[in-house]
Amino acid sequence: MTIGKTLWVIPEGYIPPDSEERKGSRFVSHEAACLLNANDRDAQVAITLYFVEREPVGPYRVRLPARRTLHLRFNDLEDPERVPRDTPYSSVIESDVPIVVQHTRLDSRKEALGLLSTIAWSAS
């Protein structure tokens, strides 16, 4: 039995503009996709970002070993280009091995913690 799906979608994406200021803090604002590969084969993951007013950018390539999780911060993606701040985007995540994806944002622009999370969408 393999656990998961090979195509996932996160329509909501946004990195606050002042995320960098407090770098090094555990409370830095971030937008994350948590990926689990519960299977016994390493996964090659390709992420494509969609924007409001220009063509998609990608693929961003990530390797996810067998039986491992990855809490991937969109803030850290640099290749083929840095993810723009203060800009709405969506992401499509494709993997050659089934995985499961959850979307989480920590927004620490104010004193309080803003937290959101949802399992990403996958075709059933």
Site residues (vs a copy of itself, CB under 8 A): 3-4, 7, 9-14, 16-17, 26-27, 32, 34-36, 38, 50-53, 55-56, 67-71, 86, 88-90, 92, 100-107, 109-124
Whether the bond between 56 and the residue before it is cis, its omega within 30 degrees of 0, is no
Q: Select 13 or 75, whichever has its Cβ closest to a copy of itself.
A: 13
Q: Select 44 or 69, whichever has its Cβ closest to a copy of itself.
A: 69
Instruction: Output the DSSP codes for 60-91.
Output: EEEEE-TTEEEEEEGGG--SSSPPPTT--EEE
> Rounded to the nearest whole angstrom, what is the least distance from the CB of residue 12 to a copy of itself in the complex?
4
Q: Select 78 or 111, whichever has its Cβ closest to a copy of itself.
A: 111
Structure tokens at 57: 């950018």
Task: Yes or no: say if 85 and 77 are a contact pair by the CB < 8 Å rule.
Answer: no
Could you give phi then psi for residue 98, rounded to 5 degrees?
A: -60, 135
> Rounded to the nearest whole angstrom, what is the least distance from the CB of residue 115 to a copy of itself in the complex?
4
**First-to-final CA distance of the chain:** 16
> Rounded to the nearest whole angstrom, what is the least distance from the CB of residue 111 to a copy of itself in the complex?
7
> Rounded to the nearest whole angstrom, what is the least distance from the CB of residue 108 to a copy of itself in the complex?
8
